[in-house]
Copies of this chain bind each other. A is one copy, B any other.
Amino acid sequence: MAYVTSDITVSADGFGAGPNQALEHPLGEGGEQLHRWMFETPDENAAEVAAITAADAFIMGRNMFGSGRGDWDPAWTGWWGDDPPYHKPVFVLTHHPREDVPMQGGTTFSFVTGGIHEALKRAQDASGDGRIAVAGGPGTINQFLTAGLIDELRVHVAPVVLGGGERLFDRVPPGRLSQVSGRSASLVTHIVYRAVR
C-alpha cells in the first residue's frame, strides 16, 4: 500500500484558505498571509518545505489547480508556470474530463472524474505504491480524512486569524489523532499527526 501524506497550512482559527477565493486571490481574502513562513523564512523551514513536494505522485482538487469551473479552458495549465514544482504525476479531481497535460520537469497533470478512490488508485499505480501526497485544497483533504485515507497529516499553523474561509477538518468525524512531532519556527508551528485507526 502507498503511504499517503498531506500538508496544509492553516490559520490560528483553522482556515486553509480565506473567504471569497477567486482568480485574483486564489487563497481567499487574507489567505496569502498563511504562507509567509515559506516565503519570508525559508531557511528556518527548509525540511518542512522540501517534504511538501517529496512524493511519488500527487492528488489535488480542481480548485487548487485553477479558479475555473465547468468546461475546461485548454490554455489553463495550473498556477505554477511551465515547470511546476511536483516533477511527478499529479491527479486533479474534476467532474469534467480532460486529456493529460504534460509539463516541463516531469510533472503531468491527469484529470480524474471518478472521485477520491479512483484518484488514489491511479496515484498508487503511478507511484509504484510509493508516497502519495494529497496536496489540497482543504475540501479535498477533508474528503480524504473523512474516508480514513490519510496516513500522515502535517499541519502548519500560521499566526493569523482569517475569520472565514475553508476549514481543515470541516465535517470530518470525531476521533483521536496521534501527534508524532511538532515544533515552532518564527512564523509557523508545524504539527505532524497520524490517524489512530
Task: List chain A positions with a Cβ less than 8 A from chain B.
Answer: 12-14, 18, 30, 33, 155, 157, 159-164, 167-169, 172-179, 181-184, 186-189, 191, 193
Contact = CB atoms under 8 A, between A and B. Distances in A.
Contacts of A169: 12-14, 161, 163
Given A184-B181, A184-B191, A163 B174 contact: yes
Contacts of A160: 174-177
Given A12-B191, A13-B167, A179-B189, 4 more contacts: A14-B167, A157-B191, A163-B174, A179-B186
A161 to B, nearest CB: 5
6 contacts: A12-B155, A12-B169, A13-B169, A179-B188, A182-B189, A189-B191
Contacts of A187: 179
Contact of A162 (B155, B174, B184, B191): B174
Given A13-B168, A181-B184, A182-B184, A174 B161 contact: yes
Contacts of A179: 159, 184, 186-189
Given A13-B168, A13-B172, A184-B191, A178 B163 contact: no
Contacts of A174: 18, 30, 160-164
Given A14-B13, A183-B183, A175 B193 contact: no
A189 to B, nearest CB: 4
A191 to B, nearest CB: 5
A20 to B, nearest CB: 12
A163 B159 contact: no
Contacts of A163: 169, 172-174
